[in-house]
Amino acid sequence: MRKYLLIGVSAFVLGAGTMAYVSPIAQATSPSKARTYKMLELFGDVVATVENSYVSEVDDKKLIEAALDGMLTSLDPHSGYLSPESFDDMQDTTRGEYGGLGLEVTSEDGVVKVISPMDGTPAARAGVQAGDYITAVNSQSVLGLTVSEAVKQMRGAPGEPVTLTIARDKTDPFDVKLIREVIKPRAAIARMEGDYGYVRLPGFNEKSTEALIAGIQDLRAKNPAMKGLVFDLRNNPGGLLDQAVSVSDIFLDGGEVVSQRGREARDIQRYNARPGDMLNGLPVVVLINQGSASAAEIVAGALQDRHRAEIVGITSFGKGSVQTVIPLRGGADGALKLTTARYFTPSGRSIQKTGIEPNLEVAQTKDQAQDIANRVWFSEASFKNALNADEGKTRKGAHTPAEAPPPGFDEKKGDFQLERALAVLKAGSVEAVPKMPKPAAKIAEVTAKAAAAAGVGKPTVEKK
């Protein structure tokens, strides 16, 4: 059975001896198939040579699993091979309960990189941030490991300690000590902010829609005069497609939520909301940031395109591709996680690489505003083999964001993006809300420092 996730058949080589039988078949097939069989024969020869000649004995299973994963990850950052153990872990994650640290991670050039920490987990409490690199687990390097292998090292029995070595921009590498827990992502957090409701959704697992409905119902029951809602999708790394559609359905009165389009022009699947808006038209503002990915971007894009919500924050991650998880022999041999389509918003925008741009761009901190102005922010577009946006659009480069906390704003106690979202609700629209002064970005100063560090302008010494 296939399961569509936002985050999946291949030829499997048995060994060099098998290829002797395959080769004659290749002579009777098309040139492309013949080339494929020849390369499979080469693969079998390499496996046999490694088995016979490597300096120490090798584990054939691990060797071939690594080859399968390498083949798939060469296509794009989100395709890959899941061993039977990794497939079980993934199923636990989507069910919304598992043991670990609470991190959504990916791999970039053989280094594990954090997409987002999950709310209320050891990683979030320890201050792990989106964009951090994890270079070692318990002093053992994870450089060059697959994501599945690195995650396996980070998971363990609840209550056990684990130390992550973190590499972060502008700081020296440092260790973070955490205690593993049974991760039960909170599906929804609801409270009132004055006359306005606030609901945060940390992820999209099988319980998300149910918990979101319960949260909104509780707010409205206790506050029948509620004037609007802030829907917080910041640092939401995504999850299940069906949950993205059903969450969007809560706010929309019918119509398209998202479409996915595969290789062929006719390969289009559309997902629609049912009639009935749970909030009966109450104004909504959605908060997003660079950690909002996948399912979170589907929801934000749908509500933006359908003019159901204003979007406040900074441009989202840009993970707009569809991975189909394809179990092999019912999961006994693991599964493939294969990119099979792209996601498009109702207006036909591809989410891939470009992300969802907010109606009102607001940096959370002055440092974040400076970072956005001086360099391209970590996103899906950062991966060198990321799938392109279908319409050929590119992500907005380094620029000064429209708004950032003014002097005197207490960034440790206050939430500037939330304050601006509430201001939009009170004003009635982004156009009507009084704008903050645009932050001054010291681009020249940072550029000069970077140039000096790189040795630009210094005399070049040639060694012969």
Provide the CA 228 distance to its chain's centre, in angstroms. 28
Measured over the CA atoms of residue 352, residue 354, residue 357 and residue 362, the dihedral's sign is: positive
Q: Which of 89, 119, 249, 305 is catalytic?
A: 305
**At how many degrees (to 10) do helices 241-251 and 208-222 cross?**
20
Per-residue tokens: 462:
């040639």
Q: Which of 79, 83, 292, 294 is catalytic?
A: 294
Residue 319 annotated to the active site: yes
Q: From CA 319, how far away is CA 353, in angstroms rounded?
A: 6
Residue 323 class from Cβ within 10 Å (0-12 exposed, 13-18 middle, 19+ buried)?
Answer: buried
| Exposure string for 216-230, b = 16+ CB within 10 A, e = fewer | beebbeeeeebebbb
Q: Are 257 and 219 in contact (CB under 8 A)?
A: no
Q: Give the bridge partners for 247, in sequence order.
A: none
Q: Are 260 and 343 in contact (CB under 8 A)?
A: yes
Looking at 86-145, which runs of residues are DSSP E strands?
98-100, 103-108, 111-117, 133-137, 140-141
Q: Which of 207, 319, 337, 353 is catalytic?
A: 319
Provide the CA 314 distance to its chain's centre, in angstroms. 15
- Residues sharing a CB contact under 8 Å with residue 121, sequence separation 6 or more, in sequence order: 101, 102, 103, 181, 183, 185
Eight-state DSSP code of residue 330: G
Residue 294 annotated to the active site: yes
- Residues sharing a CB contact under 8 Å with residue 419, sequence separation 6 or more, in sequence order: none
Give the side-chain half-sphere CA count within 13 A for 360.
Answer: 30
**Would residue 47 be called left, alpha or beta, if left means φ above 0 and alpha means ψ between -120 and 50 degrees?**
alpha
Residue 305 annotated to the active site: yes
Chain position carrying tokens 């290749």: 26
Q: Are 203 and 236 in contact (CB under 8 A)?
A: yes
Q: Cα-flanking dihedrals φ and ψ of residue 244, to 5°?
A: -60, -40
What residues are annotated to the active site?
Answer: 294, 305, 319
